[in-house]
Structure 1
């Protein structure tokens, strides 16, 4: 499943897709709910999770530039069954991630068109989200070049510009002598205590750094991947880490928020800045337009890559109908089934009373579901590092001991996140907690059933053919 050779992605295209797929400014308000110590948590999340995973992905993607990403690497390490399950978990994990992303884009759209009353109804918000998702899904069927084109304008206009505005107005408030809405000091920056809630907070910030492994799903569509991947990964890592930290500081200088304001906190920030500086335009509306552009730019790639991974890992298991590809080499039926699954989840989440509550529940669901495939990723890396000593590694962690330490840190972070996410906080309701547990368990059972049925069908076909 490859694209035309003359249309491969270069360093700029890959970097833009990476930044737009990973960086989410909606994480800034969530990080700000804990106060100035968010700075320390961002740094901890980067060192405990983002840097280890990035190094692992850089080594795997340059050593084994196979289309399929995690599923292809797991197949090399553990075989077909493990590969299918890794691809399956990654595919269905996105079912819980897309709804949170889509609710966010609908909130952005409401501000972009100055129709904030849309957010008063979870049903209205979710129906609009479904329509947007299906429109981008249909565009995604045009292939990786469409994803690159969308990202090429989505990253600069939708991510970098809002980040600069948030940071810029935060600095302007500081320079103009405005008092900080959040007290910054050496004492407030350092976490006062380590509790269950603070560890859960760290886990969620680690999830904000997720997405680097997606680059492996388009390895064959990248020019000179052995050189391009490491450069793109390090460029992406530096830009994302700096933006997250600087934007969080600027945001907290202007405004303080509570967890029940996470859905529209960026716009509360914008409204205060508009009034503070007597701006001749609505900063909320401008940010809304930028964020809509950002999500449109990133969503196509986010829709595409898990279905590509599922296609590659399920070739010998899934029914032929699901493996159908179109003239642009896209797994059309997998992508459409993915859209159907997301639609169902959005319809169910419409029963949650408020947008912020629905958003927070979906973020926790996505955190749990998304981290399961990372267990496969890290395990495959360790196995291949130990057993495949002959393959040339254009980029590698130099010493084996250092490589295993990096993998151990990443694995500990992932396992810890999964365990902690399953422990409900004191204010979590049954309606919010049940989907987090039932969903992943159901997906695991379905994955095993699909594999068993698929293998049985393939064996029957083989016998008939022989």
Structure 2
């Protein structure tokens, strides 16, 4: 793989269209500074760590568990891998509810989830039931090993990629038509138009969103062996892709300021982290129509079609991701760890090569969390916001295990190390401490920000309940395995 192909692969794995609208909604133009800082202090050093792991510890089932086991030990490896798997459980809880936003937007031109009702249930509870239905359908199809879903994944990826092109092109037309006028004027660079992110605590809490925007770096470790002259090409690819992704986010955030006035478009109580992309794309279409002289009614219709196209692309993207993530993490967990840890049914593969019993157990667990969350919250906006925060925290916590283990991995003897980014022990410790503290600090501020600002402990409890619960569960599972091994004299 040449440098250009490596950069494109990293870009498509990490860059997310929805990250820029979320950043603009929370921090306005100030989010550009946070994204730049996250690239320098997190993306590049962490990606180079993953490259060292992947190049040194190879094998068919090599991955997070093997990396941690070689570096620290089996108990630590299992807990870390289980937390990584748990992060995808929380992602499925969050996304199975959010998937109905693009679905309804595709047909109605705007988010209709807050208007849904079934019998005497409110909209949040109804969406919770629909999320459970989605989980059952996806699990049922996935255990059959259906391969046609790859076409949906590719189509969704193409649609979402085209959204970036639409944003750039239409923003340029609006900017020229409005003679350089920005709908959102520049203010102090770190001033957020969102009242919840104007305090120092709010600014620090936003950091986890910037970190989450660079998520998915674990896959980079497997690319080292496929890269031409990896010792030189790979670090160049990491740095160049970091620049491309950071510039992409910065340009995207700036483009949203061309068409979207925060107070006029995003201050509504119906706008939330679940539907923000569709609200802003709808407004982009409206502003295009208005800037080129279309009637108000025509501009509104154009905005609705922009929202529909966004909804279709995001729905297809979610669907493709779901059909992969519904089985890939649990298959890695069950087959990548000692089989004796699990009941025999969990490790059994059906004719399609899927761990169907484990997948149905996963489905039941996700549905249980969805129902607890949806029936425990009456406010739709609060429901989607807390789901997003839960996903952000849970997806970044597993990084701490890999970062903590990295200095120990560097001291592990008898490893072939074809790629070495960190050559001195002192520099390794320095980088490890910096990245570890940044991720840990961002999560702590995100978790406790609502309580510190006097908004109560409910959001804080939701964000820590998942990690604590899954940590306890992983410890209990491993303790059971350790007792069985001890009794068997192993």
Normalised by the length of structure 1, the TM-score is 0.84
Q: Output one character per residue of 1:160-189: Cα deviation in whole Å (capped at 9) or x when no partner.
A: 11122223222222111163221126x436
Match of 1:253 in 2: 258
Which residue in 1 is equivalent to 2:167?
Answer: 166
Pair 1:17–1:87, CA change in 2 (3 A): farther
Match of 2:45 among 43, 52, 56: 52
Check conservation: 2:79, 2:475, Cα contact below 8 A: yes
What's 2:380 paired with? 355
Task: Tell me the residue number matched to 1:117.
Answer: 112
Alignment of structure 1 residues 201-350 onto 2, 5 Å: 201-214=206-219, 219=222, 224-225=225-226, 230=234, 237=242, 240-255=245-260, 256=262, 257-258=266-267, 260=269, 261-262=271-272, 263-278=274-289, 281=302, 282-311=305-334, 312-350=336-374
- What displacement does 1:309 show? 3.4
- Paired position in structure 1 for 2:19: 27
Aligned-partner Cα distance in 1 for 2:392–2:50: 19
2:397 is the counterpart of 1:372? yes
1:223–1:51 distance in 2 versus 1, CA, 3 Å: closer
Distance apart, 1:288 and its partner CA: 0.7
* Counterpart selection for 1:383 from 386, 397, 408: 408
- 8 Å CA contact 1:68, 1:313 repeated in 2: no
Structure 2 residue 65 is the aligned partner of structure 1 residue 71: yes
| Cα displacement (A) at 1:377 | 0.4
Gaps of 5+ in 1: 1-8
Cα distance in 1 for residues equivalent to 2:257 and 2:76 = 44
- Partner of residue 3, structure 1: none
- Determine helix, strand or coil for the equivalent of 1:394: coil
The alpha-carbon deviation at position 147 of structure 1 amounts to 7.3
Question: In the TM superposition, what is the alpha-carbon distance from 1:330 to its structure 2 partner?
Answer: 3.6
Distance 1:119 1:156 in 2: 29
Q: Which residue of 2 aligns with 1:6?
A: none
**RMSD of Structure 2 on Structure 1 (CA):** 3.5
Q: Is the 8 A contact 2:44 2:238 kept in 1?
A: no
Measured after TM superposition, the shift of residue 50 of structure 1 is 1.9
How much has 1:385 moved relative to structure 2?
1.0
1:265-310 C-alpha deviation (Å, 9 max, x unpaired)? 2222223233333367511111111111222222333334421332
Structure 1 contact 52–409 (Cα < 8 Å) conserved? no
Out of 405, 410, 423, which is 2:448 matched to? 423
1:155 matched to 2:157? The reply is yes
Say which one has the larger Rg.
2
1:107 is aligned, of 84, 88, 101, to: 101
- Which one of 433, 456, 465 corresponds to residue 483 of structure 2? 456
Check whether the contact 1:84–1:314 (CA below 8 A) recurs between aligned residues.
no
Hey, what's the Cα distance between the residues in 1 that align with 2:71 and 2:186?
A: 48
Which of residues 405, 408, 421 in structure 1 aligns to 2:433? 408
TM-score (norm 2): 0.80
> What CA distance in whole angstroms lies between the structure 1 residues aligned with 2:199 and 2:413?
40
Partner of 2:29: 36
C-alpha contact 1:17 1:298 (8 A) present in aligned 2:
no
